[in-house]
Amino acid sequence: MSDISKAPLAIIIMGVSGSGKSSIGEKMAARLGMHFVEGDALHPAANVEKMSKGIPLTDEDRWPWLDIIGQQIAASLAKGEAIAVSCSALKRIYRERLRAAAGGHLYFVYLDGSKELLTRRIGERKGHFMPASLLESQLQTLEVPTGEPGVVTIGIDDTVDGIVEAALKTLDAIR
Ligand SMILES: Nc1ncnc2c1ncn2[C@@H]1O[C@H](COP(=O)(O)OP(=O)(O)OP(=O)(O)O)[C@@H](O)[C@H]1O
Ligand SMILES: O=C(O)[C@H](O)[C@@H](O)[C@H](O)[C@H](O)CO
């Protein structure tokens, strides 16, 4: 099996709110010895305020945020450094923007879960700005990335470790 940590690699861990992007992304990046960036931390304050009030973001709200993420990925790759970022990346046009920023060298790990499981995980989570009420709009906005280049789809009905293992194995298989 090839060692996917050797080449500079850029990975977005994507999916709707509560799918496990932060939990999986952090652990995956640690396993690969990669720098992990929490995409939520890069939202302009106005976006966080909106989401905290239960108001879904628009494309216009998301573009500046996606561009910050794209710039971070481009900067890492330019230095020859691998990077993993958690980012909902719900629409295909968002992913295209991120791919363009990364010069085409971008993988996506899509965390796929049922509405019931997502609702449960968000409900059990404490101290996060994202209210459970926004899950519906997240699911409506999501354009499933399956079939796009560099995408691996992983079901989230498993332990964090199980999901990380599956993601690493599937990613390795397509590289
Ligand atoms: N495989 C799992 N098994 C059990 N609990 C999990 C699993 N993955 C994530 N969780 C829990 O589910 C909740 C949501 O996970 P997390 O915050 O990582 O998702 P997220 O996609 O980053 O969410 P958001 O986009 O809203 O920030 C957290 O409380 C987390 O601890
Ligand atoms: O595109 C979006 O609507 C946002 O990025 C959300 O997905 C949140 O950032 C995330 O889910 C926070 O919990």
Q: Is 18 in the pocket of ligand 1 (CB under 6 A)?
A: yes
Q: Where are the domains of the chain?
A: 10-174
- CA neighbours closer than 13 Å in the CB half-sphere of residue 140: 8
pLDDT in tens, 7-25: 579 999 999 999 999 999 9
Say which residues have a Cβ less than 8 Å from residue 155's Cβ, sequence separation at least 6.
112, 113, 163, 166
Residue 35 dihedral angles phi and psi, to the nearest 5°:
-70, 135
pTM listed for this prediction: 0.95
Is residue 19 within 6 Å of ligand 2 at its C-beta?
A: no
Q: Count other Cβ atoms within 10 Å, centred on residue 87.
A: 26
* Whole-number pLDDT of residue 72: 97
Structure confidence at residue 7 (pLDDT): 53
pLDDT in tens, the chain (175 residues): 444 445 579 999 999 999 999 999 999 999 999 999 999 999 999 999 999 999 999 999 999 999 999 999 999 999 999 999 999 999 999 999 999 999 988 999 999 999 999 999 999 988 888 888 899 999 999 999 999 999 999 999 999 999 999 999 999 999 8
Neighbours of 20 (CB within 10 A): 22
pLDDT of 97:
98
Place of tokens 């952090």: 26
Specify the pLDDT at position 9.
92
- ipTM for this prediction: 0.96
- Helix (H, G, I), strand (E, B), or coil: what is residue 11? strand
Ligand 2 centre to CA of 17 (Å) is: 6
Tell the residue nearest (CA) to atom 3 of ligand 2: 57
**Domain 10-174 in CATH: superfamily?**
P-loop containing nucleotide triphosphate hydrolases (3.40.50.300)
Tell which atom from ligand 2 comes closest to the C-alpha of 129: 13
Q: Is the dihedral of CA 34, 4, 68, 122 positive or negative?
A: negative
Contact 14, 111 (CB under 8 A): yes
- Residue whose CA is closest, atom 26 of ligand 1? 17
End-to-end CA distance of the chain: 11
Give residue 11 CA to ligand 1 midpoint distance, Å: 18
